[in-house]
């Protein structure tokens, strides 16, 4: 066991044991998977096996596209959109893509849920002004990375059926953290996952694309992946997706993760009582605790955790070198406490080390309570 306790899985995860074993073996093909010779075919086989595994795991006949992760996938989905619609707490790439372009932003409610009434008002207004050939492209975040709040598909699917927009689902934080992470509605057009969030290698992700949705290429070149995403395929990275998902499918336990989350919350309540306040909602990711320590600011608190050998965060790590509080905390009604926020996010197998984790956290919570 590492001397440090890593509890920042929503930022990135360590490589899964199966991925580590694969890389340590050194026994993997190196050739270009687009090459027609035997070595190239060996590399291509890893991609083919992964694609088959993904479709079986998620029980879908959607097409699979491999890319570098959610940022690229969002750029690809939105790059040809006539109108973009997204929530104020979505991945920052969505807002950056939409600068100086026709876009609409809707907020969340104080309970963390989407403001579907506001969204519908936007859709009605937008549809009335669109030309017949134009289409609305909308992003839906399944699990918020900062707060751990899980959004329900039912309302967004109702609106999609009513207003006929293209729907992208950001599922980056869903794997192993939502009980039904392998199930998504057939009505969506595209759903995206990033490998480094669940134990695969960094710089590799994948999206399922509805066959009836025509995705326009963002990366042009050699025409790989049926022309949808050009560039030499990262076959080792792709295969790491399969290995990491096999690990989670076989070894993780959602209910035990929930129990660990509740155990950590109980420790905070025991040690800090009225000095702590949690983010809570009707549906939360099994691994995420968002807590405000009222007597200590985030940066000071982070130092205390770090000195104690515990890695946590105080915001969303989606910008280069920056950790910043998104406006989601303000929209949830925590404007005065946003600089006191700490996010604890553990992995899909950490429940196996439950006693050790609770022991170490109990020590740091006791220390923080005295500040």
CA torsion 256→259→261→267, rounded to 10°?
-140
Give the model confidence (pLDDT) of 309-322 as tens digits: 999 998 665 544 44
User: Which contiguous run of DSSP H or E holds residue 67?
Assistant: strand 63-67
Question: Do 35 and 161 lie in a common domain?
Answer: yes
114: containing domain: 17-250
| CATH for 48 | 3.40.640.10
Question: Do 232 and 283 lie in a common domain?
Answer: no
Question: Do 307 and 239 lie in a common domain?
Answer: no
- Position 2 scores a pLDDT of 57
- Position 133 scores a pLDDT of 78
Question: Do 56 and 109 lie in a common domain?
Answer: yes
Question: Do 346 and 227 lie in a common domain?
Answer: no
Question: Do 325 and 228 lie in a common domain?
Answer: no
Question: Do 328 and 357 lie in a common domain?
Answer: yes
Q: Which of 188, 221, 250 is where one domain is finished?
A: 250
Question: Do 207 and 293 lie in a common domain?
Answer: no
Q: Are 76 and 318 in contact (CB under 8 A)?
A: no
Q: Which of 228, 250, 272 is where one domain is finished?
A: 250
| CATH for 305 | 3.90.1150.10
**C-beta contacts of 322-329 below 8 A and 24+ residues apart:** 325/146, 325/298, 326/89, 326/92, 326/146, 327/88, 327/89, 328/88, 328/89, 328/108, 328/112, 328/144, 328/146, 328/147, 329/146, 329/147
Helix axes 116-129, 153-163, angle to 10 degrees: 20
* Number of folded domains that form the chain: 2
- Position 136 scores a pLDDT of 94
Q: Which of 223, 250, 277 is where one domain is finished?
A: 250
Question: Do 221 and 86 lie in a common domain?
Answer: yes
Q: At 365, is the secondary structure helix, strand, or coil? A: helix
Q: At 209, is the secondary structure helix, strand, or coil? A: strand
Radius of gyration of the chain measured on its C-alpha atoms: 21
- For 79, residues 6+ apart whose C-beta sits below 8 A from its C-beta are 97, 216, 218
- Position 161 scores a pLDDT of 96
Instruction: Write out the two tokens for 282.
Output: 């009707």
Closest CA to 67 of 189, 149, 190: 190
- Position 1 scores a pLDDT of 46
Question: Do 158 and 292 lie in a common domain?
Answer: no
Question: Do 150 and 21 lie in a common domain?
Answer: yes
Give the model confidence (pLDDT) of 267-295 as tens digits: 999 999 999 999 999 999 999 999 999 98
Collect the ranges in the chain with pLDDT lower than 70.
1-2, 100-101, 315-326
Q: How far is CA 6 from CA 154, 306, 313, 350, 361, in A?
A: 34, 10, 10, 10, 11
- Position 57 scores a pLDDT of 98
Question: Do 238 and 257 lie in a common domain?
Answer: no
Q: How far is CA 209 from CA 62, 77, 190, 241, 286, in A?
A: 5, 10, 5, 17, 27
């Amino acid at each position: 066991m590492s001397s440090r306790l890593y509890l920042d899985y929503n930022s990135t995860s360590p490589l899964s044991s199966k991925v580590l074993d694969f890389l340590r073996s050194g026994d993997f093909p190196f050739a270009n998977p687009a090459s027609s010779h035997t070595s190239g075919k060996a590399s291509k086989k890893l991609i083919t096996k992964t694609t088959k595994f993904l479709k079986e795991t998620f029980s879908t006949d959607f097409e699979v596209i491999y890319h570098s992760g959610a940022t690229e996938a969002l750029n690809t989905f939105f790059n040809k959109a006539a109108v973009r619609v997204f929530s104020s707490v979505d991945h920052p790439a969505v807002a950056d893509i939409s600068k100086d372009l026709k876009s609409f932003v809707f907020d969340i409610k104080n309970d963390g849920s989407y403001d579907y009434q506001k969204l519908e008002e936007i859709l009605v207004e937008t549809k009335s002004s669109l030309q017949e050939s134009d289409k609305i492209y909308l992003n839906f975040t399944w699990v918020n990375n900062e707060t751990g709040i899980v959004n329900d598909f039912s309302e967004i699917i109702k609106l999609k059926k009513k207003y006929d927009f293209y729907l992208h689902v950001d599922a980056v934080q869903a794997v192993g953290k939502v009980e039904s992470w392998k199930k998504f509605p057939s009505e969506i057009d595209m759903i995206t996952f990033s490998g480094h969030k669940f134990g695969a290698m960094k710089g590799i992700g994948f999206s399922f694309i509805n066959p009836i949705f025509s995705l326009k290429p963002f990366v042009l070149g050699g025409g790989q992946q049926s022309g949808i995403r050009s560039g030499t395929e990262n076959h080792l990275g792709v295969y790491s997706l399969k290995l990491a998902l096999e690990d989670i499918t076989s070894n993780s336990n959602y209910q035990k993760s929930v129990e660990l989350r509740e155990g950590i919350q109980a420790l905070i309540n025991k040690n800090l009582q009225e000095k702590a306040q949690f983010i809570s909602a009707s549906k939360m990711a099994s691994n995420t605790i968002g807590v405000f320590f009222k007597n200590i600011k985030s940066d000071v608190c982070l130092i205390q955790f770090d000195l104690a050998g515990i890695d946590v965060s105080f915001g969303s790590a989606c910008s280069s070198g920056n950790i910043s509080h998104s406006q989601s905390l303000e929209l949830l009604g925590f404007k005065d406490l946003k600089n006191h926020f700490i996010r604890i996010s553990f992995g899909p197998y950490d429940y196996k080390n439950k006693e050790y984790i609770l022991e170490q956290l109990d020590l740091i919570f006791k220390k923080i309570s005295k500040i």
